[in-house]
Chain A
Amino acid sequence: MTHHYLLFTVLATWCLSHANCGFPNVNPTLGEPWPKPQQQVWDPALFRVDIDVVPFNITGETCADLEDAVSRYTNIIASFIAEFRGVTASRLYASGASHVGDDPPLLLEQIEVELRTACSEDQYPEYGMDESYSLTVNTGDALGRAVIAADTIWGAYRGLETMSQLFYYDPSGAVFVRSGSIVDFPRYSYRGFLLDTGRHFLSLDVIKQNLDLMAFHKYNVFHWHLVDDPSFPFYSVRFPLFVLGAFREDKIYSPDQVADVIEYARKRGIRVIPEMDTPGHTRSWNSYDILTRCYTDGEPDGTFGPLDPTNSSIYSLITDLLDEVTQRFPDRSVHIGGDEVSFGYDCWLSNPGVQAWMAERNYTTPQEVEAEYITNLLEVVAGLPEKPQYMVWQDVVDQGITIKEDAIVHVWKEPEWQAEMDKVTSLGHRTVLSSCWYLNKISYGIDWYKYYDCEPESFGGSAQQNELIIGGEACMWGEYVDDTNVVARSWPRAAAPAERLWSAKGANSHSEAASHHRLRDSANILSKFKLRIVRGVIFTYMLFTLYFYFTYIPTYCSNCRP
């Protein structure tokens, strides 16, 4: 039957030399790191990798943490090489960079890591830590090798990650590394990702996988929304009965497991900030008799509202609980919530005990009840031996409650987040933005554009106000995600805020953002715009290869088209 092939003989022969093309929407770049480094100068020299395992050489200070990281990246790079060497002969790739030269390329011999200050396992990542690094690959005095240099281990981690993203391969199956030099540091010190283990339980494996992906994108804060209305999976040593509010006995994080997560994060330069949200979002806390009983027609109706403000023992409980939490989580910050208390107002007002208590105080509104609780809570936090800094959801400030000057206000509401940022920074508070990065809210299409285009400083504040923006946080609330879909739903969408928070302001401007809609339908994409979309795509495939060890990479080819 194959003789029918001759029907189109002449043209078909032409095509055979241009096999396996396909028409992907966007062609990927080769060896472009994400998030985009602050300064990068590429050298057009080809730099090839002929060895299966690229050796690292630690030339400065070292410690077990650094050695572990180097071993991790040795494996990541070796997997990448093993994945592609030899199996890609048929694959044609369009190169984002031009690598043309007559001389045979130099070969990568080793990667040097120069840490300039001592490191130890006692180091814990903290707000404002130095994450800067420089990377020189096959250029200047680093011909034939790559050099990562950093003052801190945090910078070394970031540099190792960037290094691992410079590898790519060409149609012959040969592996290359981009040549050039990079000087890099973050725009914002707080680059967070929230996981919510109160609405669905997430296994330790998935939490760790997410931490790996966070490190991949230079995120440095895991905001662990531990508990919420639906369940209380956090095992408190001081209050063990709380876990009766867990979904099931195997849906609990033991103290060892929590410590394991913290250590896993620490070794990737990621802080873990726990959240204990009160007085709302506490339905699962009812193992202890601290919730307001709601009344209907003058009788308790069996439902429960926020913490019961008339029960003075709630303060000793929350003191002890936060004492435990701040001791077990080494981060200096603790998130104490304070959002959406208004959902419980009716319950408060329905309860005769609360009514009497309010009357004693001459309170007439539930807002006053909330304010008293939060004010007392802030005093509790101030009196803790660990002296934590605290973070609160914006609701607390919106209620006009006075908070400590160094408290961090977490802006989450939409759509008026710009006015809120203006207000909060005018009050002199540091702030973290999440409103535009609620990644749990899905929609059809390439929605990462809008996450990418959100500029935290776009509210038009003064330079002084802008300085109070310490960063942002992508939130993956747990209503509709669990182990089955949280990774695919988070990534690569969370890569967009990662670049916004790390890369230089205006690295990709709003005028580019405005072009997105044109881009979608345009066959002729302006190369300047293309680059950034393209980097998103290659990133997706890096995920597949490095994390899921998939056996394929969608192939892209533009030079085969007529």
Chain B
Amino acid sequence: MLRHWLLTSVAAGLCSCGWAGFPAVEPTQGEPWPAPSDLQLGDTALLIPMPDQLEFRVTGHSCDSLTAAISRYQAIVAGLAAPRPGRRRRPTGTPARRVSAELARVDVNLTTECSMPYPEFGMDESYRLEVASSGATSGLAALTADTLWGVLRGLETLVQLMYANGVGGLYVREASGSDGPRYSHRGILLDTARHFYPVTAIKDMLDVMAINKFNVFHWHIVDDQSFPFVSETFPALAEGGAYAEDMVYSQQQVQDIIEFARLRGIRVIPEFDTPGHTRSWGVGLPGFTTACYGADGQPDGSTGPVDPSNEDVYTMLSIFLTEISERFPDNYIHLGGDEVRFGFDCWLSNPQIVAWMQSLNITTPEEVENVFFQRLLDLVADIPGDVQYVVWQDAVDNNVTVRPDTIVEVWKGGWQVEMDKLTAQDLRVILSSPWYLDYISYGSDWHTYYDTEPESFGGSAQQNALVIGGEACMWSELVDETNLMARLWPRASAVAERLWSPKGTVRTDFTASRMEEHRCRMVKRGYKAQPANGPGFC
């Protein structure tokens, strides 16, 4: 019988191509993600003969941060060359590349001094990259950047131009040109209050952010449910409000995370959201939140937003936020300000607050919110140093007067109208409404994230210039360490490309193929990025 089937199979002529299967989308080879703005990729490739010994030579300025990055990328290149367990044919539709040279060396030229810089809004992340397979510089990869940040982005692109051919060889594509981001603010929000994440999980996320050229970790560190941040000035906050004694971020750990992010060119913007979303604050500092009263005129045991009638609150916030501004080197603090209305009833139920409202001649909870938030902004203005802030759109929607250099984060539905409105008021905006990645649905939902264009609200060029970027948000009601990575990646990669690559980058079948490669790239580098495109394999 066996012979019989061998005969028909040969007759069918179907198996000469080797291992096949039918993945939904074939991956590309050596296509970087997010797509560079101005980098020409050739159709020749260079063999990397001994990947674990590839030389990186620093030809310009250097500093510890740079040498640390080079060590990291050396290890990554060595990992890419690890023998693959199985062979496969070249993906359908991928042209065979002529291999015309060997890569001898990578030259890294940082043109200005770097000591121990901290990434900041508007930093220069551009770089030039030449990987030559002919001419005088054949066999050389030359990376040039004016800043450490540009070097970091360029190194990531360089390793993404590398691909294994399936029989143990590692190649790098010929490339020439430059690259730089479309938007300066490219963030991921992680909520560590609804569920706690150990530091290792946060570092893994930062590593994958760097793979995707994200540059802001918006750390939504506390919320109603828990207060894991250990404050020097108010240790009672975490002692009372954390889920558990060992579910906190110590001062050392916070510093460690900030440094880990810095080395990858990622800013850490902490969020301390008030006056709503503060239930956990009130455990350690019970006078901080409003006691809600029942219909019988007695406290009902529940708590509402920050108690705006308690003067201690403002003193406390002033001291606390001063500590935050000292401990987080970023120029910005996120002050929250969202969804205060959930607490309006509580405010109005409390006789002390009602009396306080009367003394101020105000009658609505919206006015209470404004009074509080105005005082908050005033006290932040008095913090030593130039502390700038980001707020959720609610504050501006409720007509709080914000500093002209405030950044407003748009998160609600109807975001196009909101973006139009805010930029018309000359405020800078970050978009996150379409990128709430905690909302899951069946299928290849990255398409939707990819296709969202922040400037589609039809504003003027001047308005568009005020769109400084966007954020993918991973709220943690239903996410923790067990599923964060798979739920975030590669879905957030779609957002990454929208925020980095030039305006007008559209999704095609080729994008899906690049996504297929990119998802497997993350898997091969050790991160559990989930399937993006339907059946297939890495």
Q: Judging by beta carbons under 8 Å apart, are B22 and A231 in contact?
A: yes
Judged by a CB distance under 8 angstroms, whether B338 is at the interface is no
Residues of A within 8 A of B529 (CB): 484
Judged by a CB distance under 8 angstroms, whether A517 is at the interface is no
Judged by a CB distance under 8 angstroms, whether B259 is at the interface is no
Q: Are A22 and B20 also in contact (CB < 8 A) when A91-B245, A443-B440, A484-B486 are?
A: no
Q: Are A90 and B531 also in contact (CB < 8 A) when A8-B312, A12-B286, A246-B21 are?
A: no
Residues of B within 8 A of A556 (CB): 243
CA distance A478 to B23 in the complex (A): 12
Interface hub of A8, A230, A552 (most chain B Cβ within 10 A)? A8
Residues of B within 8 A of A441 (CB): 442
Question: Could you tell me the dominant secondary structure of chain A's interface residues?
Answer: loop
Residues of A within 8 A of B523 (CB): 484
Pick the residue among B198, B232, B246, B312 that contacts A7 (CB under 8 A): B312
Q: Judging by beta carbons under 8 Å apart, are A289 and B225 in contact?
A: no
Judged by a CB distance under 8 angstroms, whether B537 is at the interface is yes
CA distance A10 to B28 in the complex (A): 64
CA distance A189 to B193 in the complex (A): 42
User: Within residues 220 to 237 of chain B, which ones have a CB less than 8 A from any CB in chain A?
Assistant: 224-227, 232-236
Segment at the B interface, from A53-61, A341-349, A528-536, A543-551: A543-551
CA distance A5 to B235 in the complex (A): 8
What's the least CB distance linking A301 to chain B, in Å? 15
CA distance A4 to B247 in the complex (A): 24
Segment at the A interface, from B11-19, B47-55, B343-351: B11-19
Per-position 1/0 for B192-216, Cβ under 8 A of A: 0001101000000000000000000
Residues of A within 8 A of B87 (CB): 248-249
Q: Are A239 and B5 also in contact (CB < 8 A) when A1-B233, A247-B537 are?
A: yes
Q: Judging by beta carbons under 8 Å apart, are B530 and A481 in contact?
A: yes
What's the least CB distance linking B62 to chain A, in Å? 37
Q: Judging by beta carbons under 8 Å apart, are B232 and A2 in contact?
A: yes
Per-position 1/0 for A480-521, Cβ under 8 A of B: 111111001100000000000000000000000000000000
Per-position 1/0 for B60-96, Cβ under 8 A of A: 0000000000000000000000000111100000000
CA distance A553 to B18 in the complex (A): 48
Residues of A within 8 A of B8 (CB): 288-290, 313
Question: Could you tell me the dominant secondary structure of chain B's interface residues?
Answer: loop
Interface hub of B20, B198, B323, B482 (most chain A Cβ within 10 A)? B20
Contact-size category for B: 35 or more
Judged by a CB distance under 8 angstroms, whether B141 is at the interface is no
For residue A316, which residue of chain B has the nearest CB? B1
Residues of A within 8 A of B9 (CB): 241, 287-289
CA distance A214 to B289 in the complex (A): 45
Q: Judging by beta carbons under 8 Å apart, are B478 and A231 in contact?
A: no
Q: Judging by beta carbons under 8 Å apart, are A446 and B478 in contact?
A: yes
Judged by a CB distance under 8 angstroms, whether A143 is at the interface is no
Q: Judging by beta carbons under 8 Å apart, are B86 and A484 in contact?
A: no
Q: Judging by beta carbons under 8 Å apart, are B279 and A246 in contact?
A: no
19 residue pairs of the A-B complex, CB under 8 angstroms, read A1-B319, A2-B232, A8-B236, A15-B236, A87-B246, A199-B535, A230-B22, A232-B21, A241-B9, A244-B19, A244-B20, A248-B87, A288-B5, A290-B8, A442-B440, A484-B486, A484-B530, A551-B246, A555-B244
Known contacts A12-B284, A247-B536, A480-B442; can you find 18 more A-B pairs with CB under 8 A? A1-B233, A4-B316, A5-B233, A8-B285, A20-B244, A20-B245, A90-B244, A200-B536, A230-B22, A241-B15, A248-B19, A287-B12, A288-B12, A320-B1, A442-B441, A484-B531, A554-B244, A560-B283
Point out residues on B near A: beta carbons under 8 Å: 1-2, 4-6, 8-9, 11-12, 14-15, 18-24, 85-88, 195-196, 198, 224-227, 232-236, 239-247, 279-280, 283-288, 301-303, 312, 315-316, 319, 323, 438-444, 477-478, 480-483, 485-487, 523, 528-531, 534-538
